[in-house]
Amino acid sequence: MTVPSLAQAQDALARVKAAGTLKVGTETAFAPFDFIDATGQHAGFNVDAFAEVGKELGVKIQWVELPWEGVLPGLEAGQFNMVAGPATITKARVERYRFLSPVAEATVAILRRAKDDTIKTPQDIAGKTVGAGKATAQLAQLKTFSATLPKPVEPREYPGFNEAYADLAAGRIVAVANSLPNIAFVASKQPNVFAVVQPPFGQKSYFGYIGTKKPDDQPLLDAVQAALVKIKADGRMKKLQEKWFGTSFETPDVAPEPSF
């Protein structure tokens, strides 16, 4: 009879505790959640939030950085324990992955050039070229919204939102569709270049961290979930939201049933 090794006998939480390291996958072109700062360091809301999670679990955080389209496949391939991202909680994703306690609102809005007065409402993007990240929920919502307009939007897909912002600044596209916290951050950093179009056009939604639904992973995800709820309850989450978004969000402790 084959005797399983200790590593095989342990669940994901036990292995993480034994190694003293939680491996987290993310992209670094999704400010203010994850980005490379002026010193070349990985920074953002997720870095700070997972530092607090690490304290609660008694482990260090090891970041694994990939383009967004490779992050979820990387999770399924076992390259890391969970995904920071974060990702918009959608019906399709909930069927496939486990979402933990939401960390911010994710409703989609429009970013335009500051001096472009032709886009005053979301409906003004009709018939125009609008950028969004490849394989993102924001792109999916842009396409859904486009179908309601008199003339459809021409969506332009980018490997990361930074490339979309660069094309917007250069006038190669007229707008970028991304979640409100992200574009509000971008506009606040470059108010002479970018402006946010209000109100958001997307359905109200939330960002959450992701794990698999494999039974082996559930004790670890339960521990991270408990850590996130504790960080919310004692006010640490609110302070991080205010630091990185300039505001705080009321988010449920348990991932809600998504509307889309």
User: How is 122-185 classified by DSSP, letter by letter?
Assistant: GGGGTTSEEEEETT-HHHHHHHHHHTTSSS--EEEEESSHHHHHHHHHHTSSSEEEEEHHHHHH
Joined together, the tokens standing for residue 191 give 């108010």
Stretch 209-235: mean pLDDT: 98
Strands 98-99 and 206-211: antiparallel
Higher-pLDDT residue of 64 and 247 is: 64
pTM: 0.85
Joined together, the tokens standing for residue 118 give 């032709």
Percent of the chain with pLDDT strictly greater than 70: 97
Instruction: Report residue 259's pLDDT band, with 50, 70 and 90 as the boundaries.
Output: confident
Using the predicted structure, report yes or no on whether residue 149 has a pLDDT greater than 80.
yes
Instruction: Provide the edge-to-edge strand list for the sheet that holds 42-43.
Output: 29-30, 34-36, 42-43
Stretch 184-188: mean pLDDT: 93
Angle at 106 between CA 243 and CA 110, to 5 degrees: 95
How far apart, in whole angstroms, are the C-alpha atoms of residue 139 and residue 133? Answer: 6
Beta bridge partners of 26: 65
Instruction: Report residue 6's pLDDT band, with 50, 70 and 90 as the boundaries.
Output: very low
Q: What is the predicted pLDDT for the residue at 249?
A: 87
7-16, 63-72, 157-166: least confidently modelled range: 7-16
Using the predicted structure, report yes or no on whether residue 3 has a pLDDT greater than 60.
no
How many other CB atoms are there within 10 angstroms of residue 168's CB atom? 23
How many other CB atoms are there within 10 angstroms of residue 42's CB atom? 14
How many other CB atoms are there within 10 angstroms of residue 91's CB atom? 10
Average pLDDT, the chain: 94
Q: What is the predicted pLDDT for the residue at 10?
A: 86
Q: What is the predicted pLDDT for the residue at 246?
A: 84
- What's the pLDDT tens digit per position in 81-127? 999 989 999 999 999 999 999 999 999 999 999 999 999 999 999 99
4-13, 169-178, 236-245: least confidently modelled range: 4-13
Using the predicted structure, report yes or no on whether residue 28 has a pLDDT greater than 90.
yes
Higher-pLDDT residue of 163 and 259 is: 163
Using the predicted structure, report yes or no on whether residue 45 has a pLDDT greater than 90.
yes
Instruction: Report residue 9's pLDDT band, with 50, 70 and 90 as the boundaries.
Output: low
Percent of the chain with pLDDT strictly greater than 90: 92
Instruction: Report residue 5's pLDDT band, with 50, 70 and 90 as the boundaries.
Output: very low
Instruction: Report residue 8's pLDDT band, with 50, 70 and 90 as the boundaries.
Output: low
Stretch 236-246: mean pLDDT: 94
Q: What is the predicted pLDDT for the residue at 221?
A: 98
